[in-house]
Amino acid sequence: MEHRHFLIHKPYGYLSQFAGEAKKKKLGEFHDFPEGIMAIGRLDEDSEGLLLLTTDGHVSEQVRSKKVEKEYYAQVDGLITDAAIQQLQTGVEIGIHGVKYITSPCAARRLEPAPAFAPRTRKIRDDRHGPTSWVSITVTEGKYRQIRKMTAAVGFPTLRLVRVRVGEIRLGDLAPGAVREVAGFGL
């Protein structure tokens, strides 16, 4: 059997799966995917961006390894400080299922100007609630809701989270809900 691979821009409000809870929106709504398709890693229902799909479990394991970088753009509550970015870079303590965990050092930087993503289907909040800013965070680990927990740990809760890169594969101009079949991932 020849394996198939896809890129999808997972929109806000969808699960990173194809079956499950009947009332939840799932990825199968966007394309007629082949049998055996699986998401490589996950983006939670509130997160958006690049998601890789494959029918090859070996590729899935390779991408989920700590060797492949994942880059996220996070819109945070408030104007993120240099001190907070430095904390993100060196590692912060977060809780994972009730256990304290120190994140590995990562790349983090302020994004100016803010990225020009399409508006989200559900409004984030009004400007009257104060300023927001954007930060890029690149990690090689992938703990449960890690980026959200990291920004909260340094005092800047995440309002919107978009994965923009996995390894060398970039989200680019792929529109929310769009699917592109690719020959492979070449990570």
Give the catalytic positions in this structure: 44
Q: What's the 3-state SS for 29-85? A: HCCCCCCCCEEECCCCCCCEEEEEEECCHHHHHHHHCCCCCEEEEEEEECCCCHHHH
What values do phi and psi take at 158, rounded to 5?
-75, 130
Characterise 155 by phi-psi region: left (phi > 0), alpha (psi -120 to 50), beta (else): left
**Residue 70, number of CB atoms within 10 A of its CB:** 23
> DSSP secondary structure string, 102-146?
EPPP-EEEEESSPP-PPPPSS----GGG--EEEEEEEES---TTH
Amino acid at 11: P
